[in-house]
Structure 1
Protein backbone atom coordinates (compact mmCIF):
# COMPACT_ATOMS: atom_id res chain seq x y z
CA UNK A 1 0.00 0.00 0.00
CA UNK A 2 2.82 2.40 0.85
CA UNK A 3 4.46 1.69 -2.51
CA UNK A 4 1.16 2.16 -4.32
CA UNK A 5 0.60 5.54 -2.69
CA UNK A 6 4.15 6.63 -3.40
CA UNK A 7 3.70 5.67 -7.06
CA UNK A 8 0.36 7.50 -7.16
CA UNK A 9 2.07 10.65 -5.89
CA UNK A 10 4.80 10.41 -8.53
CA UNK A 11 2.23 9.80 -11.28
CA UNK A 12 0.29 12.79 -10.01
CA UNK A 13 3.43 14.93 -9.97
CA UNK A 14 4.21 14.01 -13.59
CA UNK A 15 0.67 14.99 -14.61
CA UNK A 16 0.74 18.29 -12.73
CA UNK A 17 4.17 19.23 -14.08
CA UNK A 18 3.14 18.35 -17.63
CA UNK A 19 -0.02 20.43 -17.25
CA UNK A 20 1.16 23.41 -15.22
CA UNK A 21 4.96 23.32 -15.34
CA UNK A 22 7.39 23.05 -12.45
CA UNK A 23 6.57 26.51 -11.17
CA UNK A 24 2.91 25.55 -11.07
CA UNK A 25 3.53 22.54 -8.87
CA UNK A 26 1.84 22.99 -5.48
CA UNK A 27 1.86 20.30 -2.86
CA UNK A 28 -1.86 20.81 -2.17
CA UNK A 29 -2.74 20.33 -5.83
CA UNK A 30 -0.42 17.34 -6.08
CA UNK A 31 -2.06 15.71 -3.06
CA UNK A 32 -5.51 16.23 -4.59
CA UNK A 33 -4.31 14.86 -7.95
CA UNK A 34 -2.90 11.74 -6.28
CA UNK A 35 -5.83 11.31 -3.89
CA UNK A 36 -3.71 11.51 -0.74
CA UNK A 37 -3.11 13.98 2.07
CA UNK A 38 -0.43 16.65 1.94
CA UNK A 39 1.07 15.06 5.05
CA UNK A 40 1.60 11.82 3.13
CA UNK A 41 3.31 13.68 0.30
CA UNK A 42 5.74 15.24 2.78
CA UNK A 43 6.19 11.89 4.53
CA UNK A 44 7.45 10.28 1.31
CA UNK A 45 9.35 13.18 -0.24
CA UNK A 46 10.22 15.59 2.59
CA UNK A 47 10.02 18.80 0.52
CA UNK A 48 9.38 20.23 -2.93
CA UNK A 49 12.95 19.57 -4.04
CA UNK A 50 12.52 15.92 -3.10
CA UNK A 51 9.30 15.73 -5.09
CA UNK A 52 11.00 17.13 -8.18
CA UNK A 53 14.04 14.90 -7.84
CA UNK A 54 12.02 11.72 -7.49
CA UNK A 55 9.60 12.73 -10.24
CA UNK A 56 12.53 13.13 -12.60
CA UNK A 57 13.69 9.63 -11.71
CA UNK A 58 10.15 8.34 -12.16
CA UNK A 59 9.68 9.73 -15.66
CA UNK A 60 13.14 8.52 -16.68
CA UNK A 61 12.31 5.00 -15.49
CA UNK A 62 8.88 5.13 -17.14
CA UNK A 63 10.46 6.10 -20.46
CA UNK A 64 12.69 3.03 -20.28
CA UNK A 65 9.62 0.84 -19.87
CA UNK A 66 7.93 1.98 -23.09
CA UNK A 67 9.49 -0.83 -25.09
CA UNK A 68 11.53 -2.78 -22.56
CA UNK A 69 10.20 -6.17 -23.64
CA UNK A 70 9.43 -5.57 -27.32
CA UNK A 71 11.00 -7.63 -30.06
CA UNK A 72 11.04 -7.32 -33.81
CA UNK A 73 8.74 -9.28 -36.13
CA UNK A 74 11.24 -12.16 -36.44
CA UNK A 75 13.07 -11.85 -33.14
CA UNK A 76 15.17 -9.30 -31.27
CA UNK A 77 16.34 -6.14 -33.05
CA UNK A 78 19.95 -5.77 -34.12
CA UNK A 79 21.85 -2.85 -32.50
CA UNK A 80 21.12 -0.39 -35.29
CA UNK A 81 17.42 -1.29 -35.29
CA UNK A 82 17.30 -1.11 -31.51
CA UNK A 83 18.82 2.37 -31.55
CA UNK A 84 16.38 3.60 -34.17
CA UNK A 85 13.45 2.03 -32.37
CA UNK A 86 14.36 3.55 -29.01
CA UNK A 87 14.53 6.99 -30.61
CA UNK A 88 11.36 6.72 -32.68
CA UNK A 89 9.24 5.46 -29.82
CA UNK A 90 9.67 8.80 -28.07
CA UNK A 91 7.19 10.14 -30.65
CA UNK A 92 4.16 8.02 -29.84
CA UNK A 93 0.72 9.62 -29.72
CA UNK A 94 -0.03 7.87 -26.44
CA UNK A 95 -1.10 9.95 -23.43
CA UNK A 96 1.60 8.42 -21.22
CA UNK A 97 4.36 9.20 -23.72
CA UNK A 98 3.16 12.75 -24.38
CA UNK A 99 2.84 13.39 -20.65
CA UNK A 100 6.29 11.98 -19.98
CA UNK A 101 7.92 14.02 -22.75
CA UNK A 102 6.14 17.19 -21.67
CA UNK A 103 7.13 16.73 -18.03
CA UNK A 104 10.77 16.10 -19.01
CA UNK A 105 10.78 19.27 -21.09
CA UNK A 106 9.28 21.29 -18.25
CA UNK A 107 11.86 19.96 -15.79
CA UNK A 108 14.72 20.76 -18.14
CA UNK A 109 13.41 24.27 -18.83
CA UNK A 110 12.94 24.93 -15.13
CA UNK A 111 16.59 24.14 -14.40
CA UNK A 112 17.39 27.58 -15.83
CA UNK A 113 15.70 29.05 -12.75
CA UNK A 114 16.08 26.18 -10.25
CA UNK A 115 19.78 25.25 -10.00
CA UNK A 116 19.05 22.38 -7.59
CA UNK A 117 17.59 20.43 -10.51
CA UNK A 118 20.64 20.76 -12.71
CA UNK A 119 22.74 17.97 -11.24
CA UNK A 120 19.83 15.53 -11.33
CA UNK A 121 19.00 16.45 -14.92
CA UNK A 122 22.65 16.18 -15.89
CA UNK A 123 22.83 12.71 -14.32
CA UNK A 124 19.68 11.52 -16.07
CA UNK A 125 20.84 12.99 -19.37
CA UNK A 126 24.25 11.36 -19.05
CA UNK A 127 22.64 7.97 -18.42
CA UNK A 128 20.60 8.40 -21.60
CA UNK A 129 23.67 9.43 -23.60
CA UNK A 130 25.58 6.38 -22.35
CA UNK A 131 22.70 4.08 -23.34
CA UNK A 132 22.63 5.52 -26.85
CA UNK A 133 26.43 5.39 -27.10
CA UNK A 134 26.36 1.72 -26.09
CA UNK A 135 23.97 0.91 -28.94
CA UNK A 136 26.12 2.90 -31.36
CA UNK A 137 29.12 0.96 -30.12
CA UNK A 138 27.41 -2.34 -30.85
CA UNK A 139 26.56 -1.19 -34.37
CA UNK A 140 30.03 0.31 -34.95
CA UNK A 141 32.37 -1.66 -32.67
CA UNK A 142 35.63 -0.12 -33.92
CA UNK A 143 34.68 3.45 -33.05
CA UNK A 144 36.41 4.96 -29.94
CA UNK A 145 34.24 5.64 -26.91
CA UNK A 146 34.64 9.46 -26.95
CA UNK A 147 33.44 9.58 -30.56
CA UNK A 148 30.44 7.39 -29.72
CA UNK A 149 29.58 9.68 -26.82
CA UNK A 150 29.71 12.77 -29.03
CA UNK A 151 27.46 11.06 -31.55
CA UNK A 152 25.03 10.08 -28.79
CA UNK A 153 24.99 13.65 -27.50
CA UNK A 154 24.03 14.92 -30.95
CA UNK A 155 21.24 12.38 -31.32
CA UNK A 156 19.73 12.95 -27.87
CA UNK A 157 19.93 16.72 -28.24
CA UNK A 158 18.17 16.51 -31.59
CA UNK A 159 15.52 14.23 -30.14
CA UNK A 160 14.77 16.73 -27.37
CA UNK A 161 14.44 19.54 -29.91
CA UNK A 162 12.18 17.51 -32.17
CA UNK A 163 10.12 16.45 -29.17
CA UNK A 164 9.46 20.08 -28.25
CA UNK A 165 8.29 20.85 -31.78
CA UNK A 166 6.15 17.70 -31.89
CA UNK A 167 4.49 18.40 -28.55
CA UNK A 168 3.77 22.01 -29.55
CA UNK A 169 2.16 20.90 -32.80
CA UNK A 170 4.87 22.28 -35.09
CA UNK A 171 5.69 18.75 -36.29
CA UNK A 172 3.53 15.69 -36.75
CA UNK A 173 4.67 12.50 -35.05
CA UNK A 174 5.29 10.99 -38.50
CA UNK A 175 7.54 13.88 -39.54
CA UNK A 176 9.41 13.83 -36.23
CA UNK A 177 10.08 10.11 -36.64
CA UNK A 178 11.21 10.63 -40.24
CA UNK A 179 13.73 13.30 -39.20
CA UNK A 180 14.97 11.19 -36.30
CA UNK A 181 15.35 8.13 -38.51
CA UNK A 182 17.39 10.17 -41.00
CA UNK A 183 19.61 11.48 -38.18
CA UNK A 184 20.35 7.96 -36.92
CA UNK A 185 21.23 6.86 -40.46
CA UNK A 186 23.53 9.86 -40.95
CA UNK A 187 25.35 9.31 -37.64
CA UNK A 188 25.91 5.60 -38.17
CA UNK A 189 26.87 6.09 -41.81
CA UNK A 190 29.40 8.75 -40.77
CA UNK A 191 30.91 6.52 -38.08
CA UNK A 192 31.05 3.53 -40.44
CA UNK A 193 32.91 5.48 -43.12
CA UNK A 194 35.26 7.37 -40.83
CA UNK A 195 36.32 4.39 -38.77
CA UNK A 196 36.20 1.73 -41.49
CA UNK A 197 33.58 -0.41 -39.77
CA UNK A 198 33.64 -3.69 -41.72
CA UNK A 199 29.86 -3.84 -42.30
CA UNK A 200 28.52 -2.29 -45.50
CA UNK A 201 27.92 1.37 -44.65
CA UNK A 202 24.89 1.48 -46.94
CA UNK A 203 23.14 -0.86 -44.53
CA UNK A 204 23.20 1.99 -42.03
CA UNK A 205 22.04 4.66 -44.39
CA UNK A 206 25.51 5.77 -45.44
CA UNK A 207 26.49 6.83 -48.95
CA UNK A 208 29.56 5.67 -50.84
Structure 2
Protein backbone atom coordinates (compact mmCIF):
# COMPACT_ATOMS: atom_id res chain seq x y z
CA UNK A 1 0.00 0.00 0.00
CA UNK A 2 1.28 3.47 -0.88
CA UNK A 3 1.28 5.62 2.23
CA UNK A 4 0.11 9.22 2.47
CA UNK A 5 3.62 10.67 2.46
CA UNK A 6 4.79 8.41 -0.39
CA UNK A 7 1.94 9.65 -2.58
CA UNK A 8 3.45 13.13 -2.59
CA UNK A 9 5.31 14.09 -5.80
CA UNK A 10 9.07 13.82 -6.22
CA UNK A 11 9.28 17.39 -7.50
CA UNK A 12 7.25 20.52 -6.83
CA UNK A 13 7.87 24.05 -8.07
CA UNK A 14 6.52 27.35 -6.78
CA UNK A 15 7.25 30.96 -7.77
CA UNK A 16 6.96 34.10 -5.69
CA UNK A 17 8.10 37.55 -6.82
CA UNK A 18 9.70 35.90 -9.88
CA UNK A 19 11.88 33.75 -7.61
CA UNK A 20 11.80 30.00 -8.15
CA UNK A 21 11.42 27.72 -5.13
CA UNK A 22 11.35 23.95 -5.43
CA UNK A 23 11.32 20.66 -3.59
CA UNK A 24 12.96 17.57 -5.04
CA UNK A 25 13.27 14.08 -3.69
CA UNK A 26 16.63 13.52 -2.00
CA UNK A 27 18.83 11.25 -4.11
CA UNK A 28 20.59 8.60 -2.07
CA UNK A 29 23.55 8.28 -1.90
CA UNK A 30 24.27 11.12 -4.38
CA UNK A 31 23.12 13.90 -2.00
CA UNK A 32 24.86 12.57 1.09
CA UNK A 33 27.97 14.74 0.69
CA UNK A 34 25.75 17.82 0.55
CA UNK A 35 23.64 16.77 3.54
CA UNK A 36 26.81 15.85 5.46
CA UNK A 37 28.18 19.35 4.84
CA UNK A 38 24.95 20.99 6.02
CA UNK A 39 24.71 18.87 9.16
CA UNK A 40 28.16 20.12 10.19
CA UNK A 41 27.31 23.80 9.83
CA UNK A 42 27.47 25.59 13.22
CA UNK A 43 23.94 26.99 12.82
CA UNK A 44 22.51 23.50 12.15
CA UNK A 45 24.25 21.39 14.81
CA UNK A 46 22.37 22.60 17.93
CA UNK A 47 18.92 21.84 16.53
CA UNK A 48 19.56 18.73 14.44
CA UNK A 49 22.47 17.11 16.30
CA UNK A 50 23.39 15.06 13.24
CA UNK A 51 27.02 16.19 12.96
CA UNK A 52 28.12 12.60 12.42
CA UNK A 53 30.56 10.94 10.04
CA UNK A 54 29.35 10.34 6.50
CA UNK A 55 29.12 6.60 7.20
CA UNK A 56 26.98 7.18 10.31
CA UNK A 57 24.76 9.55 8.35
CA UNK A 58 24.29 6.97 5.61
CA UNK A 59 23.12 4.44 8.20
CA UNK A 60 20.75 7.06 9.65
CA UNK A 61 19.30 7.97 6.25
CA UNK A 62 18.98 4.39 5.08
CA UNK A 63 16.70 3.84 8.07
CA UNK A 64 14.82 7.08 7.30
CA UNK A 65 14.34 6.15 3.66
CA UNK A 66 13.03 2.72 4.63
CA UNK A 67 10.42 4.33 6.91
CA UNK A 68 7.33 4.89 4.78
CA UNK A 69 5.83 7.68 6.90
CA UNK A 70 8.57 10.13 5.85
CA UNK A 71 9.57 11.94 2.67
CA UNK A 72 13.04 13.50 2.53
CA UNK A 73 13.32 16.41 0.13
CA UNK A 74 15.92 18.98 -0.91
CA UNK A 75 14.84 22.62 -0.95
CA UNK A 76 16.03 24.82 -3.79
CA UNK A 77 15.96 28.50 -4.72
CA UNK A 78 16.57 29.64 -8.32
CA UNK A 79 18.10 26.31 -9.28
CA UNK A 80 20.44 26.05 -6.27
CA UNK A 81 20.01 23.44 -3.54
CA UNK A 82 19.96 25.38 -0.27
CA UNK A 83 18.20 23.27 2.35
CA UNK A 84 16.52 20.13 3.46
CA UNK A 85 13.05 19.15 4.69
CA UNK A 86 11.39 16.08 6.14
CA UNK A 87 7.67 15.66 5.47
CA UNK A 88 6.08 13.26 7.94
CA UNK A 89 2.71 11.75 8.79
CA UNK A 90 1.77 13.24 12.14
CA UNK A 91 -0.18 10.33 13.57
CA UNK A 92 2.45 7.75 12.58
CA UNK A 93 5.35 9.92 13.71
CA UNK A 94 6.61 10.13 17.31
CA UNK A 95 4.45 13.25 17.53
CA UNK A 96 1.51 10.85 17.45
CA UNK A 97 2.40 9.88 21.03
CA UNK A 98 1.66 13.42 22.18
CA UNK A 99 -1.50 14.52 20.38
CA UNK A 100 -4.77 13.06 19.09
CA UNK A 101 -4.00 13.22 15.40
CA UNK A 102 -5.98 12.70 12.22
CA UNK A 103 -4.87 10.01 9.76
CA UNK A 104 -4.30 12.67 7.08
CA UNK A 105 -2.19 15.05 9.18
CA UNK A 106 1.19 15.91 7.66
CA UNK A 107 4.01 17.93 9.17
CA UNK A 108 7.48 19.13 8.20
CA UNK A 109 10.92 19.90 9.57
CA UNK A 110 13.14 22.38 7.72
CA UNK A 111 16.73 23.51 7.70
CA UNK A 112 18.58 25.98 5.50
CA UNK A 113 22.03 24.52 5.02
CA UNK A 114 23.53 27.26 2.86
CA UNK A 115 24.42 30.38 4.85
CA UNK A 116 24.30 32.37 1.60
CA UNK A 117 20.48 32.39 1.78
CA UNK A 118 20.35 34.04 5.22
CA UNK A 119 18.78 37.47 5.37
CA UNK A 120 17.24 37.26 1.90
CA UNK A 121 13.63 36.80 3.00
CA UNK A 122 13.34 33.19 1.84
CA UNK A 123 11.85 31.67 5.01
CA UNK A 124 8.24 32.72 4.49
CA UNK A 125 8.16 31.77 0.77
CA UNK A 126 9.67 28.36 1.58
CA UNK A 127 7.07 27.84 4.31
CA UNK A 128 4.38 28.68 1.76
CA UNK A 129 6.08 26.24 -0.64
CA UNK A 130 5.89 23.46 1.96
CA UNK A 131 2.29 24.21 2.85
CA UNK A 132 1.14 24.32 -0.78
CA UNK A 133 3.11 21.14 -1.52
CA UNK A 134 1.14 19.33 1.16
CA UNK A 135 -2.29 20.86 0.62
CA UNK A 136 -2.14 20.61 -3.19
CA UNK A 137 -1.11 16.95 -3.17
CA UNK A 138 -2.85 15.44 -0.12
CA UNK A 139 -6.34 15.63 1.36
CA UNK A 140 -4.99 16.84 4.70
CA UNK A 141 -7.26 19.25 6.57
CA UNK A 142 -4.31 20.51 8.59
CA UNK A 143 -0.53 20.56 8.83
CA UNK A 144 1.05 19.95 12.23
CA UNK A 145 4.30 21.17 13.76
CA UNK A 146 6.20 20.87 17.03
CA UNK A 147 9.12 23.34 17.18
CA UNK A 148 10.98 24.17 20.37
CA UNK A 149 8.84 26.75 22.14
CA UNK A 150 11.93 28.66 23.32
CA UNK A 151 12.79 29.81 19.77
CA UNK A 152 10.72 33.00 19.95
CA UNK A 153 11.53 34.53 16.51
CA UNK A 154 10.34 31.29 14.89
CA UNK A 155 7.06 31.50 16.81
CA UNK A 156 6.36 34.94 15.32
CA UNK A 157 6.98 33.65 11.79
CA UNK A 158 4.85 30.51 12.04
CA UNK A 159 1.89 32.39 13.48
CA UNK A 160 2.09 34.88 10.61
CA UNK A 161 1.96 31.86 8.28
CA UNK A 162 -1.36 30.63 9.78
CA UNK A 163 0.21 28.10 12.15
CA UNK A 164 -1.92 28.33 15.29
CA UNK A 165 -0.42 27.44 18.70
CA UNK A 166 -2.32 24.67 20.50
CA UNK A 167 -0.43 23.66 23.66
CA UNK A 168 3.00 22.83 25.03
CA UNK A 169 4.28 19.27 24.65
CA UNK A 170 7.03 17.95 26.99
CA UNK A 171 9.34 15.90 24.73
CA UNK A 172 12.62 14.33 25.91
CA UNK A 173 14.88 16.82 24.08
CA UNK A 174 12.68 19.92 24.21
CA UNK A 175 9.43 21.46 25.28
CA UNK A 176 7.62 21.84 22.00
CA UNK A 177 4.69 23.99 20.99
CA UNK A 178 2.10 22.04 19.03
CA UNK A 179 0.91 24.00 15.98
CA UNK A 180 -1.93 23.41 13.55
CA UNK A 181 -2.19 25.06 10.13
CA UNK A 182 -5.71 24.58 8.79
CA UNK A 183 -6.22 24.30 5.02
CA UNK A 184 -9.14 26.75 4.85
CA UNK A 185 -7.39 29.40 6.95
CA UNK A 186 -4.17 29.10 4.94
CA UNK A 187 -5.87 29.37 1.55
CA UNK A 188 -8.02 32.29 2.70
CA UNK A 189 -4.82 34.24 3.42
CA UNK A 190 -2.38 32.90 0.85
CA UNK A 191 -4.40 31.27 -1.94
CA UNK A 192 -3.67 34.20 -4.28
CA UNK A 193 0.06 33.44 -3.99
CA UNK A 194 -0.55 30.05 -5.59
CA UNK A 195 -2.65 31.59 -8.38
CA UNK A 196 0.14 34.09 -9.07
CA UNK A 197 2.71 31.28 -9.11
CA UNK A 198 0.72 29.24 -11.62
CA UNK A 199 0.17 32.31 -13.81
CA UNK A 200 3.91 33.06 -13.77
CA UNK A 201 4.76 29.46 -14.71
CA UNK A 202 2.29 29.59 -17.61
CA UNK A 203 3.87 32.82 -18.82
CA UNK A 204 7.35 31.29 -18.66
CA UNK A 205 6.17 28.22 -20.55
CA UNK A 206 4.55 30.36 -23.21
CA UNK A 207 7.80 32.31 -23.64
CA UNK A 208 9.79 29.08 -23.92
CA UNK A 209 7.65 27.64 -26.73
CA UNK A 210 7.15 30.91 -28.65
Give the TM-score taking structure 1 as reference length: 0.30
Higher-helix-fraction structure? 1
Give 1 or 2: higher strand fraction: 2
Higher gyration radius (CA): 1
